[in-house]
Structure 1
């Protein structure tokens, strides 16, 4: 048995070496096919076979690629085993790719996990640029994630923020600590579940939202590992570590779960039943579109379910992680925290909770969020693939070149940002002397190529408005209602997690003690207590807090 295993591993290793040699020879021949040697982007010193892999391990991915860009330049060609990519780390190069030659780079490459996804060809995030993708993008902008659609769900977002505050007040009352990341992830998961398909973790009749949350987390881990597996080239298809099977199984469970929710919606729409007094959710809109005989593109059930998977992948973890970074930065910068609370109190007052409509009158809150997204972007990179041979500022790129836009380094470029590694929200205020002041509140659409927290162009994040709305309202409420303490008065550990995840997680959980400064429930509680002393309502309220806490 040991001999068979040895022969199997040896064969795979030989195949890997052969694929690497063939790829190298092919590249050399291509360079001279016209009789003139083309100029490829420069590369750092590489090792045989593994290429630059040794330069990409040991630290967080964001720090690693930032270090490479700082030491070797704004555009690099990197070899990662059998995979090659172009790392772009300057605003000028990014503008050339994302604007000047956008149509050549409007598609995204396929990764190994595509082989294990039943939604391959139906998903929105990695779909090739064409009729199907353009139809879904138009649907997002005009209906699914339009301003009017998002405004319809303001009550849902307000309710979920109130649930978050209720939980944290109960933690504060007990003088306990909490890992803030957990309730923030639950908040975003609930908001997306309720707006997308009218279900949430707090629904007593279903645990659909909880299952979705667990499956999405499982798929994220498996998908990231399969992307890393691309370094094996053809060997990646052998699924040596089993992550392909794990991903396929998780997607199958997700598919069945969403199928059941779709059937419920279809039954309710057929009978005219109204869910919780709200209007159409995103599932209703997509089902309506899929049944529209005049629609430009006929959406299948698989297309609908693939869209929801993309929505959970892109929306849940990225937004909650951004909120964590914002609170962590504010804890470590008490003067900024104090200034922000004073602004909220001066605009909102002392008797009510901040609302989404207040944000436009809170420029310092906007500046805090912008600065958080600059230092800790929702995604570290954005990836494109060229459809044709081209030149970028003199460097030759072959068709199907994978290009990684290094958003992390672009937004920390010292030639564009003063003190780029410092948390300074004032740089975004109107009276700032910083090189990048005066970016409008909604100017996060990628037209300033030194500030790209949500990407740029046709492939920019379509859910940016929802993310910004939730981040502003939640961070504002957490600052208005609480002081935050960490153990023994220490600062928050701002190290970034290692690994190759698309979002920039913190290395350690954000464990802190909430200290209530403003209780939005207090007026209601006081009125009940005054009328009935130790009322049953207050006891139920405390019990509910304990229930939330246990969940």
Structure 2
């Protein structure tokens, strides 16, 4: 009897093993040899975007891997990315299920991680109208300007003392404050339930949830869930999510109870709350729940803060490493705007050509998501002549594509001049540059993110000169990693 029960318990695993080990009828893309059960888990480091040549040069721009029982195709060329994101956009625009994604999206009730369908389309449409439209972007400009004024004031105090600053943490606070005011109606400087300097810690916890694959992600079913419990992996993710969840719930409470901490104008979450309260009367197709509200709050905060902050951090890192480019950018800014401005406004960005080329070059060298969020095929397709079956995870290596020597001269060099006579842009129509993705799952907040980045960098470069503390050697401090900005010298211009 016990043998029979064991067989019944293991039958799903046996069937899955048989399915994965029997000869394939497909003309799959090339890839490294797969081991029984674990597939290519032992090769997972090769997926690091900065090790792109290890994988692409050996197997080509379309590579087939298997992580546990999850088939995965890695795309690392402009041509293959165009097939995924344009030719087969509809067939490739869903998302795979992962435990971390499920937590952050409140069971797939947000824009970033939910599977493709009518609900996703309705949420994207709502976000574009109520948060990311040109009209909304214009109406929020005073908030961006006020937060940058506060940033400049704090940095001037540090400059007057000739004391180094932790620019990385400062930028997390700046972007977090802007995103919370414009998207969530919350002022971090006066918030009772979170300190404004805690933004980076929250983002680090979110990164753990989005980048960690636990057993049940790789081996779906009861066996994977059992291993999650034994290993404690799921418990660790739940612990990381707990603090984020508390923050999101507090924001939601401030919208459900207007008399509490919410102080800014009517925003996207207010619109969804209003829709939820009226849904019984209106009978519309999209009926928000509290999980939708929390999922949208998660989306706005995590995606909005992480991408813009990462871009600004890398921009300052590359500029400090490249004094000639720094000087050229600052000369343009100070010549165009004059030397005696007391504050910077959004209008000041109008005539800064080289400055904007610098931002574009940063997005090329350091895309906010080096590997775009994973997609999942909804039907069988072909990419570059290879078969890609339904339910295959697709990873697009935006980092490798933007440094492909076929399309970029000296691709690892920080050189904004490469865009002087180039029409290539970052808005998803040029597939050699995909910092925000493309197609149906392109980031809806591109304009908002660029607006935050450009105004923030303009204030930093107009009012201050930057360098390393005198006691630090550049070769030791700036290593190509943005962590170098933990300690930089800021001087009044």
For this structure pair, what is the TM-score category when the shorter chain's length is used for normalisation?
A: 0.7 to 0.9
Range with bigger deviation, 174-183 or 118-127: 118-127
The higher radius of gyration belongs to 1
Query: Per the alignment, do residues 205 and 112 of structure 1 end up closer, same or farther by CA in structure 2, a change over 3 Å counting?
Result: closer
Q: Distance in 2 between matches of 1:203 and 1:179?
A: 22
1:381 to 2:371 alignment = yes
SS of 1:194's equivalent in the other structure is helix
Q: Please list, as runs of the form range in 1=range in 2, the aligned pairs for 1:138-217 lying within 5 A after superposition.
A: 138-203=125-190, 207=194, 214-217=201-204
Range with bigger deviation, 487-496 or 371-380: 487-496
Range with bigger deviation, 279-288 or 407-416: 279-288
Structure 2 partner of 1:483: 465
Q: CA deviation at 1:115?
A: 5.9
TM-score where L is the length of structure 1: 0.79
Structure 2 partner of 1:26: 19
Q: Distance in 2 between matches of 1:514 and 1:203?
A: 27
SS of 1:184's equivalent in the other structure is helix
SS of 1:381's equivalent in the other structure is coil
TM-score where L is the length of structure 2: 0.87
CA contact (8 A) 1:112 1:236 kept: no
Range with bigger deviation, 67-76 or 127-136: 67-76
> Deviation per CA, 1:381-437, whole angstroms, max 9, x where unpaired?
12211111122221011110111011011111111111111111011113xxxxxx1
Q: Distance in 2 between matches of 1:103 and 1:204?
A: 42
SS of 2:488's equivalent in the other structure is strand
CA contact (8 A) 1:86 1:404 kept: yes
SS of 2:212's equivalent in the other structure is helix
CA contact (8 A) 1:55 1:64 kept: no
> Deviation per CA, 1:210-256, whole angstroms, max 9, x where unpaired?
67764453243244224687345555423244342243355455445
- 2:274 pairs with 284, 288, 291, which one? 288
Structure 2 partner of 1:135: 122
1:513 to 2:479 alignment = no
Query: Per the alignment, do residues 55 and 145 of structure 1 end up closer, same or farther by CA in structure 2, a change over 3 Å counting?
Result: same
Structure 2 partner of 1:361: 351
Q: CA deviation at 1:476?
A: 1.5
CA contact (8 A) 2:179 2:305 kept: yes
SS of 2:390's equivalent in the other structure is coil
CA contact (8 A) 1:116 1:245 kept: no
1:41 to 2:20 alignment = no
1:317 to 2:299 alignment = no
Q: Distance in 2 between matches of 1:216 and 1:128?
A: 23
CA contact (8 A) 2:92 2:378 kept: yes
Q: CA deviation at 1:46?
A: 4.5
- 2:416 pairs with 422, 425, 429, which one? 425
> Deviation per CA, 1:142-161, whole angstroms, max 9, x where unpaired?
22221211222211111111
CA contact (8 A) 2:104 2:298 kept: no
CA contact (8 A) 2:78 2:432 kept: yes
1:52 to 2:68 alignment = no
Structure 1 partner of 2:390: 399
Query: Per the alignment, do residues 515 and 328 of structure 1 end up closer, same or farther by CA in structure 2, a change over 3 Å counting?
Result: same
CA contact (8 A) 2:168 2:313 kept: yes
Calculate the aligned-residue CA RMSD, in Å.
Answer: 3.0
Count, aligned residues: 475
CA contact (8 A) 1:89 1:409 kept: yes
- 1:334 pairs with 316, 323, 326, which one? 323
1:86 to 2:70 alignment = no
Q: CA deviation at 1:283?
A: 2.5
Q: Distance in 2 between matches of 1:256 and 1:194?
A: 18
**Where do 5+ consecutive residues of structure 1 fail to align?**
1-10, 33-37, 431-436, 497-505, 518-551
CA contact (8 A) 2:185 2:265 kept: no
> Deviation per CA, 1:458-506, whole angstroms, max 9, x where unpaired?
100111111111111111111112221214351553445xxxxxxxxx3
Range with bigger deviation, 211-220 or 384-393: 211-220
Q: CA deviation at 1:97?
A: 0.8
Query: Per the alignment, do residues 165 and 337 of structure 1 end up closer, same or farther by CA in structure 2, a change over 3 Å counting?
Result: same
Q: Distance in 2 between matches of 1:109 and 1:103?
A: 15
SS of 2:97's equivalent in the other structure is coil
**Where do 5+ consecutive residues of structure 2 fail to align?**
1-5
Q: Distance in 2 between matches of 1:480 and 1:363?
A: 15
Q: Distance in 1 between matches of 2:83 and 2:49?
A: 22
CA contact (8 A) 1:180 1:511 kept: yes
Q: CA deviation at 1:117?
A: 5.9
- 1:298 pairs with 287, 310, 327, which one? 287
Q: Distance in 2 between matches of 1:147 and 1:312?
A: 20
Query: Per the alignment, do residues 75 and 465 of structure 1 end up closer, same or farther by CA in structure 2, a change over 3 Å counting?
Result: same
CA contact (8 A) 2:380 2:389 kept: yes
Q: CA deviation at 1:318?
A: 2.2
